[in-house]
Structure 1
Amino acid sequence: MSSDASASSDGTIDPASDSGAPRGDEGESGQVVENVEQTAEELDSSGQQRGTLRDVADSLGISSAVALRALRGAEEIKPLMATRVREAAERLRFPLEELSEETDHRGIVAVLVNTMRNTWISDLVRAIRIELTATGRSAIVVPTRRRVPEHPVAADTDAIESLVQLGVDGFLMVSDLADMDSVLEATGDRPFVGIGCSQDFRGRFDTVRIDDEVGQGLLVDHLVGLGHREIAHVGGVGAAVARERADAFRKAMARHGLEEQARVEPGDFTEQVGQTAGSMLLRGSRVPTAVTCANDVTAVGVLSAAREAGYSVPEELAVAGYGNTSLASSGVSQITSVDPNSDRLGALAAQFLVERVSGFESPPRDVAVAPSVVVRRSSSAGPRPESTKRKRVSVD
């Protein structure tokens, strides 16, 4: 159902249309109410006190941009649409008191990242900016990993302290940064929220995480359902999140009685290490028929290793990633991947931060967002029968 039939992908309204008014009869109106109520129930069941702008928009089948213009009373939005959006916002307890006028500029939020190479970050930042826009704030993305030899894995606390001096409202951290104690000390008393980070940080500050046990479980369920039993995982190195995903993989395999087949080949989140790990798996005496990876970048590396070793994907090796980034969805790779619901992660983290900036006081909150799996060509086939597998001669 889409009541935003007249809105384009960027949220603009076609002047020749009904200016955002929902189409259809009272049956559709009833469906809208049902969708809003379902969203409200989901928020309640997950312990969420407030809905985000994204929640309001999704419950009505419109874009966040249209929802925001409706809440701000834009003239091009028909009264019926404006009423429905405001009613949905009130039902979902969206913080209308934080809503700003389009010309208001209240502050800047810094998004701290380890690297700019991970395309998942761009998905998150887009969701963060949409939510912050509703409150008149903007976001800047700041790489924080030092690249000098004497600090190979240290955080650039000088940059963070400079941001504090410039007066940023607060900080959003994507994944785990190195040397967190120094990072938190550098942020001073500014509000701090972690996104997609390790469970280790629960209770230290607000965290909005991916439920990796669910994500890895869905991947393993998918592969086992295709007939795979010899399944390996590339990851477990470089960050606590990587270790947690490897542990979640082992648990999922154990749930299917496949503990003995649950091999974890050490790897981080880079393509180069993914390729090396993939080569190690494919040269061994016990070659898996499927591989799950810590992220999509690693999965690309495993695909490269499979190509170099002469393995056909997915006929001889199924590969799955994590993050559902543009790398996974590209026509070349077509990688099955866990979709972490980046829109939800970014919107909720931004709302948590705005609430803290506004003086909200409570113990640190922790939310694990449930992911889903997007199946693509890289895992569209089960393992070949032993009689049809090609025998390969290992090359030393």
Structure 2
Amino acid sequence: MDDVAARAGVSRTLVSFVLRGKPGAGEQTRLRVLEVAAELGYKPDSAAQLLARGRSRTLGVLLDVQQPFQADLVTRIYPAAKAAGYDVLLSVSAPGRDEVEAIESMLSHRCEGLILLGPNSGREYLEELEDRAVVVVVGKPMPPSAFDAVRSADASGIRQSVDHLAGLGHRAIHHIGGGSAPGADARRDAYVAAMRDHGLAEFIRVIPGSHDEAAGVAAGRLMLEEGTLPTAVLAGNDRCALGLMDSLDRAGVDIPRDVSVVGYDDSEIAHLSRIDLTTVRQDVDQLAENAVAFAVKRLEDDDAVAAEVIVEPRLIVRGSTGPARSVQRERSMRRRVFSR
């Protein structure tokens, strides 16, 4: 395919579209690609053809070993795949093993379908994977494409969070961003929009971060160093929220008396009584079941087309949020925290 693309003077992705009969190329370009393919004797990979016919009946699942929410998804994917008559092969991305390596490993083990949980790879690479397996992307907002997509309505989850905090009297509500993590941009944009809708534009603040505990710790230290704490913080995910809570707790800040904290994902640790985190619950059952159903449908029906499902999340209110602190409590907090 690289040879065809080079000789035809087009991208490898466009060659893929033409050879699979998908729209995206003009008629002259399509004919030129087909002519070059014939001249070079291009033939589809036989292993890929076997996979497309469902011969291995194995679904490969990519996950980030550092994200607990993805582990929750995997526990739901297994029974859904088994019910459909498919096996599951896991491959993880982690420090020292990048995402592409993890994906190629699944393909080398003849996985006919790939369920990618929160992938960081770009659209072009994901579309190229469609030449080798059926691809389902979970948890990453993507424009309509050649692969299936399943995700939560992140904007709705964030809106519910801001509505909850505003209803408790909070105005100075900060957000810790998720950097380049899947869904981070959507959550940030939803936070900004919700704050404006509540007439709180002057209090908008996005602190750069990522979806891990270190980002929460760093954000907490930054707020403490500045000498002014917001009344509430909306973290990018649960891991970030836990790091923030630890940082504030070590400084003597009471949660939620001084600062309310909201996470996102409703991972298992959020349920613990010592954590008791208010957070947005993503419907892992619906996400996992739809991901498996999409993969199986396109593996067993050559005429099936890629689709997208957006699953509604729900805010779970626990003990990490409460009424915004009063002026009197503000003074008390400053004496306790910033006089140290």
The two structures have a TM-score, normalised by structure 1, of 0.67
Q: Which residue does the alignment assign to 1:238?
A: 180
1:1-396 map, 5 Å: 107-113=57-63, 115-145=64-94, 147=96, 154-157=98-101, 159-179=102-122, 181-182=124-125, 184-185=127-128, 188-197=131-140, 199-379=141-321, 381-389=322-330, 390=332, 391-392=334-335, 394=338
Change (3 A) 1:144 1:201: farther
User: Which amino acid in the other structure matches residue 100 of structure 2?
Assistant: D
Paired positions, count: 283
Q: Which residue does the alignment assign to 1:90?
A: none
Q: Per the alignment, in what secondary structure is the counterpart of residue 115 of structure 2?
A: strand
Change (3 A) 1:144 1:246: same
Is the Cα contact below 8 Å between 1:123 and 1:343 reproduced in 2?
no
Q: Which residue does the alignment assign to 1:19?
A: none
1:40-81 deviation line (CA, Å, top 9, x unaligned): xxxxxxxxxxxxxxxxxxxxxxxxxxxxxxxxxxxxxxxxxx
Is the Cα contact below 8 Å between 2:127 and 2:145 reproduced in 1?
no
Distance (Å, rounded) in 1 between the aligned partners of 2:109 and 2:91: 14
Distance (Å, rounded) in 2 between the aligned partners of 1:315 and 1:131: 42
1:331-356 deviation line (CA, Å, top 9, x unaligned): 22110010011111110111001001
Q: CA deviation at 1:289?
A: 0.5
Q: Per the alignment, in what secondary structure is the counterpart of residue 294 of structure 1?
A: coil
User: Which amino acid in the other structure matches residue 143 of structure 1?
Assistant: V
The two structures have a TM-score, normalised by structure 2, of 0.77
Distance (Å, rounded) in 2 between the aligned partners of 1:204 and 1:299: 35
Distance (Å, rounded) in 2 between the aligned partners of 1:177 and 1:239: 7
Q: Per the alignment, in what secondary structure is the counterpart of residue 200 of structure 1?
A: coil
Is the Cα contact below 8 Å between 2:56 and 2:111 reproduced in 1?
no
Is the Cα contact below 8 Å between 1:164 and 1:188 reproduced in 2?
no
Name structure 1 gaps, 5 residues minimum: 1-104, 149-153
Change (3 A) 1:237 1:372: same
Change (3 A) 1:145 1:204: farther
Distance (Å, rounded) in 2 between the aligned partners of 1:191 and 1:207: 12
Distance (Å, rounded) in 1 between the aligned partners of 2:71 and 2:239: 14
Change (3 A) 1:204 1:302: farther
Higher relative contact order (CA 8 A, sep 6+): 2
Name structure 2 gaps, 5 residues minimum: 1-54
User: Which amino acid in the other structure matches residue 122 of structure 1?
Assistant: A
Q: Per the alignment, in what secondary structure is the counterpart of residue 320 of structure 2?
A: helix
